[in-house]
Structures are given as structure tokens and as C-alpha cells.
Amino acid sequence: MTAAKVAGKNGNRVTAMLLLPTTLWFLLLLVMPLVVILVFSLGERAPAGGYQAALTLEQYANLPARLKAFTNTLTLSPLGTLICMVIAYPLAYYLAIKAGRRAKALLLTLVIVPFWTSFLIRTYAWIYILGGRGIPRLLEMIGIEDLRLINTPTAVLIGIVYGYLPLMVFPIYVSLEKLDKGLLEASSDLGANPVRTFLQVTLPLSAPGLITGSLLVFILLMGEYLIPAILGGGKVFFVGNALVDLFLQSRNWPFGSAVAVALVVIMLVAIALYLSLAGRERGRQDVSII
Amino acid sequence: MARRNALAMTGGNRERAGGVPRDSSGQSADIEFAGVTKRFGEVVAVDDVSLSVERGAFYTFLGPSGCGKTTSLRLIAGFEQPDQGDVRIGGASVVGIPPYKRPVNMVFQHYALFPHLTVADNIGYGLRQRAPRPTNSEITGQVGEMLELVRLSGFETRRVWELSGGQQQRVALARALINHPTVLLLDEPLAALDRKLRREMQIELQTLQREVGITFVLVTHDQEEALSMSDTICIMRDGRIVQTGGPKELYDEPVNGYVADFVGKSNFFAGKVVEATGTGAAVELEGGRVLSGRRPKNGETLAPGARGVIAVRPELVHVTPTAGPTASQTDVEAPGRVKNRIFLGEHTEYLVGTQELGDILALVPKHVEASDGGFTPGDEVRIGWRTSAALSLAER
């Protein structure tokens, strides 16, 4: 919208033409649906399902009925993001700083390879791995009995980390790769041991990658549907699953819309909080989101 | 004067846990290499090098890229460990000791300033790594003195990427000097600066070195820089030392053609050695002409029958008109034609083509030039020099 405004002000036709597709895309596919959802969320469910015009906050008052979906999403998404960070950082560090050229190429390929197969299929594979004949069977052999993994929060978390790890690895890898290795030598030369060098130079300078990666993973996780549907088996469900249920099963569009609006609001607040915290930590440096 | 005293006031021993203490002994050598060899795979970067750098000296490693000068510096800093031999700082072996425990600091080629820190935080970085950590007011005080030393007061809160090349250079210097290293290492510190600034910084570095009184070890491929700043220059080639000496010694008494070629300009006449004594040698050129020259102090010995070169510095070559009387001060002469003339301000450089001796470079000072009016390309001239001005050297 701002783009259109700027173009109009300048009266620059070329700029306007160039920005037209983006603007249309933006208006048609982002703004309009949002407006529709907002309007729906203030309406009522038609007797046969769907939307019936009204002006009421009843749907929002009803939100606590889906509290479980929200608490699941709001615990497992940040937790999943955190675990991804913890696993991805050392991997990215090794790739960017320690690995030789050949090892680097091989490992980067290995990180990408899973994308060659459908995410759905890969997630289905985890049903088997986590199911009765998978890991629990192996654990039985060494004496750990009656361990249930599938359809638990742990299973969903494993699926999340598995699916989203590459999204975390790449931004961190890029920021570490860009890091001038001379700075690490300078730090060492000035008397900082390797741990201090990491904390005072490597970590702050790779923070943009860390922030980008965590936002990417977190935002996508907040809207996750597939992993809880498959590995949570209806027992561990996210807001995404609740939405599918509300729109397609019970056809309660107004309530579904209210849930969707609530999710967007929560997400915006969470991201704003995170960025302001990250920004404060990093002083005046810009935080880039890809 | 405040500037002069800045370091003395903040002086004192730097202590790093487990590190090499400063001023550990009264020895006069700050850095010693004993048979140091460093290999990278197949490449021998430093090959059995032994050297000693005196306390308080301005010592320079000079050579083309790949000669092992930077590796030598990195061996002192601790970024590399020798495969063989011993590296000693202040008399104590530092083999196996990591950089952060060594009492030396480095100014990196591209400065390696921390982009996420302010100027003050960059300079204070070394102080903050100490245990026990100095108080914030101590750090601020010392950083202020350092900024004054490098004439950057008022730049405390600036970001390093806002600074010009010369200013960044000075921040890098201050960041290294604040730790009171026994030795300051400089890795091509002026390479990124433009010519005029480089000249200024050369003088500044030299002055600074005298003020702070610590050993400076410089790495450069720029012979002019090396000659103008150093007390001692170590010329390296293929991982080995070719010659070590003061600027004047290297210029006047090069041990072989490589040094004569690398330090300053020279006219070289290569041929077969026909006569060699302890004090000089004669070399027969392709065309049959025999030139002789004196053997420099410590010059590599020449054997009759082997290849040798006669080297003459351009400023020792006289250019005279063909018609006029023979210049009395020359005893080697050849007729030629001026091919090119470059005006250099205080000197004029002539390239004279001769039949017997090939192209010869001559540097004529302004006062000589003014008296005989100078020459223009195409002029017939006579070039000549005194045999005592020529050196007989082993070929590179």
C-alpha cells in the first residue's frame, strides 16, 4: 500500500507499473482475506454452517473453549524454535568455520537432501519410527519398556525439530560464513580465550542469523498443521488443527475466524517483544529479517 | 608532551594467566627463532630460520609474497606453531602457548576491528580480557590516554566503520598498544592506505615506536617502507633469510643480486666470472666486454667460470654529453642514446640505450642536471661510472 502511495506521489509511471503486481498480490491475497476474516469473526454461524452477518463479540468471548490449542501452540512453538537453535548453531558453526571445503559441500548437501522428498511423506515416516515397532521396540531390547512416543507432545516436538532445522541452519550458517575470521584471531591476540572470543565476537556477530532463523521457524510453527495432525494423532493439536476443524468439520466460520484473528494478534505481539529484546541486546545494530 | 607520556603513565606489567611475563629477564633479545621450520602440507613456508630481534628495535621482514614473512610474524603471534625449532619471546620458549597467553599484540593487515563495538570498546577490548578485570573507570581512563596517543580524542563512541582508513589504522594501533605488549607486530599495516597517508603513517609509526620504546616487528613487501622505518631489515626468500642488516648496509653491501634487486634499483650486467679475489671480481658479458666490481662485505663468494653479476646503482651512473670532455670521475664508459626521461622532482631518471651494455638507468640529481642543461630523448650521450661504485655479486 505504501508502495502504491509512493509511486502515486512521484507520479513515476514506470515505478507504478513495476510495483503493480506486488501491490495487487498484496491487496488480493493478504489484505482482502484478512478483512474477510475480521468481518467473519464479528458474525454468527448460520444454522446450516458458514457465516451469517451480525455484529457481535460473542465469538471472541468463546475463545477459551479452544484454550488447549493455544497453549499447545504457544508452548511447543517456542520450545521447538529453541531446540532448533541449540542444535542448528553448532552445526552451522562447524560448517562455516571448522569444516574443510569438501566436508562443507557434502554436509550442506546433506542438509538440503531431505527437501527432495515431500514433507508429508517424511513426516509419515516418523509415524513408523516413533510408533510401536520403531524406537520403542529398540528401547525395549535394552530394557526400557512401555515407552509411548507417537501421539505425544514429544513426538510433535521431534517432528518439528526434524522439519524445521534446515530453516534455522542456513541463516546462521550465512552469518557465520560472512564473519571475518581475522576478528577471531584479533580477539585471541588481545587476550581472549576461545570461550570469551565466542561470547564476545562470534555470537554477537552471528546474532542476525540467529534472529532471522528463529523468526522464520517460529512464525511458520505458529501456523503449523501437518506435524501435530500426523504425529499428534488428534491428541496434541495446534491452533492450525483447530482452524481446520472449525472451518471444515463444524463449519463454524465466525468462531474459526475469531481463532485465526487471535492467533495473528498473539504472533504479532510475540514477534514485537522478541525483536525489541533482541534489539536491546544488540545495541543500535539493525535486525534484518531475511 | 602529554602524548609522549601517555604510555609511561599507564605502564606496568601486563599479566595474563599462564602467559609469558613481560620483562622476564634482562636479556637484550626480545624475539629469537632457533632453527624454526613451518610447513603447510607440501609447502615449506619457513625453512630452518634462526634470528634474533633486539629489545626496542624496529625490525622488518621484507620480501615478496610467499617468502615466509607473514608466517614468521604469525609464529611470533602464536597463530601458527613451528613444526621444528624454537620460538622464544623475552628468552622464554613460547612453543605451544596460544596467542591469548602471549605478551605480544598485532596490528592486522585489514585492521580486524570489531564492527559491533565502538571505537572505545575496540581499544578497551584487551583490558576487558584481563583477570582480574580492571574497573570501568580504569578502562575508560586508559582508553582515553590511548586515543590521545593516536590523536583520536573525541572518537570514543564512533562506530569503527564510520572511520577513514587512516583513523581505523590508528584505532588498530591503540587497541594493540593499550596492552603494553613486549612486542608489537605489524602485518602490512599501511598496505590499504593511499600513498600520501602511507608516508604520514610511516613517520607516525616511527615516532610512536621511539615514544613507547617497545620492539616493533613489521612485515612488508614495500622496500621503500622497510628502508625508511626499520633499524634492521630481514630479507626473505622462499622461507629462508637472505640477508639481515640495517637499511644502509643492505643498500650498500647486498650479499647477492637478489638483495640488490629488492632493495632499491640497480643496473645488472650478468655474465661469466673470469676473475675473483677476496675483494672483487670481473665478469665477462655476452659481448665480450669485461666489467669489474668490488665484493660487498659478507658478499657471497664468486668462483671463476660461474655466473655472476655486476651491479651499479642508478644514482652512481653519470650521464655526460658525447661532445664534451670525458668526465674525469668515471673509468667505465659507454656511448648511448637517451631512450626515456622521467622527471621525478629532485631527480631526473634517464633510460639510456647502449650497444655494449644494454639499457642503463641513471638518476641525475637536480643540481647536476641544472648545470649541463639535461638531455632529451634521442640525444647522444655517454654514460659511465667508477669501478669502485660497482658491486660484483652472485646471481639471484
Lowest mean pLDDT among B110-114, B190-194, B348-352: B190-194
How far is the C-alpha of A54 from the C-alpha of A51, rounded, in Å? 9
- Inter-axis angle of helices B165-177 and B195-212, to 10 degrees? 20
Residue B212 has pLDDT above 90, yes or no: no
- With a pLDDT cut of 90, the percent of chain A lying above it is 71
Residue B169 has pLDDT above 80, yes or no: yes
Residue A40 has a pLDDT of 94
Residue B326 has a pLDDT of 59
* Confidence band, pLDDT 50/70/90 cuts, at residue B17: very low
Within an 8 Å CB–CB cutoff, is residue A282 touching chain B?
yes
* Confidence band, pLDDT 50/70/90 cuts, at residue B18: very low
The residue among B108, B111, B217 with the most chain A CBs within 10 A of its CB, best to mutate, is B108
- Single pTM value for the model: 0.80
> Which residue does chain B place closest to A185, by CA atoms?
B79
Name the residue with cell 492450525.
A240
Name the residue with cell 532471522.
A212
Task: List the 137-156 stretch of A: residues with Cβ below 8 A of B.
Answer: none
- With a pLDDT cut of 70, the percent of chain B lying above it is 91
How far is the C-alpha of A215 from the C-alpha of A194, rounded, in Å? 28
CATH number of B2-248: 3.40.50.300
Average pLDDT, chain A: 89
Within an 8 Å CB–CB cutoff, is residue B179 touching chain A?
yes
CB contact under 8 A, B116 and A192: no
* Confidence band, pLDDT 50/70/90 cuts, at residue B301: confident
CATH number of B260-396: 2.40.50.100
CA distance B294 to chain A (A): 47
CB contact under 8 A, A182 and B110: yes
Within an 8 Å CB–CB cutoff, is residue B114 touching chain A?
yes
Closest Cβ opposite residue A189 in set B99, B116, B130:
B99
The residue among B114, B157, B168, B177 with the most chain A CBs within 10 A of its CB, best to mutate, is B114
Summarize the confidence of residues B8-27 as an average pLDDT: 42
Report, at the CATH architecture level, how domain A66-281 is classified. Answer: Orthogonal Bundle (1.10)
Q: For B287, which DSSP code?
A: T
Q: What is chain A's pLDDT, residue by residue, as a tens digit (290 residues)? A: 455 555 455 578 888 889 999 999 999 999 999 999 999 999 999 888 888 888 999 999 999 999 999 999 999 999 999 999 999 999 999 999 999 899 999 999 998 888 888 999 999 999 999 988 888 888 888 888 778 888 999 999 999 999 999 999 999 999 999 999 999 999 999 999 999 999 999 999 999 999 999 999 999 999 999 999 999 988 899 999 999 999 999 999 999 999 999 999 999 999 999 988 887 765 544 444 43
Domain ranges (residues) in chain A: 66-281
Q: Which three cell numbers stand for residue A194?
A: 576461545
Domain ranges (residues) in chain B: 2-248, 260-396
Lowest mean pLDDT among A233-247, B14-28, B83-97: B14-28
Give the Cβ contact number of residue A12 at 10 Å: 13
Residue A10 has a pLDDT of 59
Within an 8 Å CB–CB cutoff, is residue A185 touching chain B?
yes
Q: φ, ψ for residue A52 (rounded to 5)?
A: -135, 130
Among residues B98, B84, B230, the alpha carbon closest in space to that of A188 is found at B98
Residue A154 has a pLDDT of 93
Summarize the confidence of residues B125-139 as an average pLDDT: 93
How far is the C-alpha of B106 from the C-alpha of A55, rounded, in Å? 71
Give B139-148's long-range contacts (Cβ < 8 A, gap of 24+): B142/B10, B142/B178, B143/B174, B143/B178, B145/B6, B145/B7, B145/B9, B145/B10, B146/B6, B146/B174, B146/B175, B146/B177, B146/B178, B147/B119, B147/B120, B147/B123, B147/B174, B148/B2, B148/B3, B148/B6
Residue B329 has pLDDT above 80, yes or no: no
Tens-place pLDDT, residues A187-203:
999 999 999 999 999 99
DSSP E strands, chain A: 44-45, 51-52
SS3 B267: strand
Residue B374 has a pLDDT of 80
Alpha helices, DSSP H, located in chain B: 2-10, 69-77, 119-128, 136-149, 165-177, 195-212, 223-229, 247-252, 257-262, 366-372
Name the residue with cell 500500500.
A1
SS3 B31: strand
List beta partners, residue B271: B308
> Which residue does chain B place closest to A197, by CA atoms?
B129
